[in-house]
Structure 1
């Protein structure tokens, strides 16, 4: 697996400049626009913002978790199909003693590296804004962001391995990524959605990541809820790994 991970890392070293703005600069500008500028018009009432004393402190943890999901989905769609359909990388790798699970593990390890590095830079840049209530909270929040990204990367990999055409990716982004981002609680408390839609939001994977990230950043941890959030993301990651391996195995048999 290590040599296959090195392959993806080498590819990234040659192409990282094309994604550096989207991975680092653009999200920071978005936080400044939404959290600082727009947030200046919103009262920082902790009772209405899940314990946050400002809208900036409320929105930052959710946006970083959503950013982790977006990177995971982006890195697990076209690159996966490319390795299967266009430049046949997976077929070449499978011709060696490697097994399908090794291909999946190496690719996901690279995606996790992308998620972890992007979220770490995001959190470090935002630290001077005073949105973190403890030194350990952002560390745990970062781990939660990496976990939610891992879950989405594995699930998306399984879908990408089964798709015959890249046209399906449009549906993933329009009907998956966008609604999940908007209704995950990243921009506003999901209690504002009403009782029914609030519970629908609670069933989405991203909400669990946003919930963990925000609780740790704001030091308002409900450990029973955190345990549920963690369990859901871990289970989804395990299911996603199986989904990814079986999907790629069947596809490479064709």
Structure 2
């Protein structure tokens, strides 16, 4: 019999088989549209950033932000509905699937979604000629770490609320500001000092720095190990919070 975490992953993948067509646009069309409209279109007015064309410079940021948003989106309504409406997680509780297995299986599912999106994006980025470093092979690893760092806290939040209206607050006051001020569209150094500190606290900024360095062959704002260590810390803390939120909800 499969490991319980793998069994949870299989359940999510079976559900995804019914909905996969909805993800085709976000995985393939959106990256292309972003690169054409913002990178090539707006880039004609911006010119170069740090010695690279704006298209080359922005592509890694768009990839990291896409991974971040996928991880958040896949960890909101799916978790909430399994607790509040479908009861799938409550059903798992009656089997030998532990809370850790539930969280691990869900994060594995998020990673599968992220890997597919990253592969599609890198293929499109290669066609646009925006990849300039042999270290690009590390991009999926960085994106996976960023995805876990984004999914864990989001799962904890989704398991703690009783009204899905709170997701709108999450998007408006966390996801959108994080995406706008994490170095995706312009260098963080151009922000006022106070806003820079908020950007530095975001796992997305660290992910953007690492993906951009791996794609362009540039150096990161902070030492690479510091960026990786921060993402590992956020991922571990988020995982712990997710398990605690699942346990609290199931025991209530």
TM-score by length of 1: 0.94
Distance 1:199 1:245 in 2: 29
The superposition leaves residues 136-189 of structure 1 with CA deviations (integer Å, 9 ceiling, x where unpaired) of: x22212221221111101110011111111011001000010000000000001
Is the 8 Å Cα contact of residues 159 and 245 (structure 2) preserved in structure 1?
A: yes
* 2:133 paired residue number: 134
* 1:216 paired residue number: 214
Deviation at 1:37, TM superposition (A): 1.4
The superposition leaves residues 54-75 of structure 1 with CA deviations (integer Å, 9 ceiling, x where unpaired) of: 0001100011100001001110
* 2:13 paired residue number: 9
CA pair 38-223 structure 1, distance change in 2 beyond 3 A: closer
**Which of the numbers 171, 174, 189 marks the counterpart of 1:173?**
171
Question: SS where residue 93 of structure 1 aligns?
Answer: helix
**Which of the numbers 20, 26, 46 marks the counterpart of 1:22?**
26
Q: Please give the residue correspondences for 1:88-127 in structure 2 after superposition, counting only pairs within 5 Å.
A: 88-127=87-126
The superposition leaves residues 34-68 of structure 1 with CA deviations (integer Å, 9 ceiling, x where unpaired) of: 00111112222xxxx2x441000110001110000
* 2:65 paired residue number: 66
Deviation at 1:223, TM superposition (A): 9.2
* 2:183 paired residue number: 185
Is the 8 Å Cα contact of residues 52 and 218 (structure 1) preserved in structure 2?
A: no
Deviation at 1:205, TM superposition (A): 1.4
Question: SS where residue 19 of structure 1 aligns?
Answer: helix
* 1:207 paired residue number: 205
**Which of the numbers 30, 41, 44 marks the counterpart of 1:40?**
44
Is the 8 Å Cα contact of residues 59 and 187 (structure 1) preserved in structure 2?
A: yes
Is the 8 Å Cα contact of residues 27 and 116 (structure 2) preserved in structure 1?
A: no
Aligned-residue CA RMSD (Å) = 1.4
Distance 1:13 1:199 in 2: 41
CA pair 52-114 structure 1, distance change in 2 beyond 3 A: farther
Unmatched segments (≥5 aa) in structure 1: none
Alignment coverage as a number of residue pairs: 248
Unmatched segments (≥5 aa) in structure 2: none
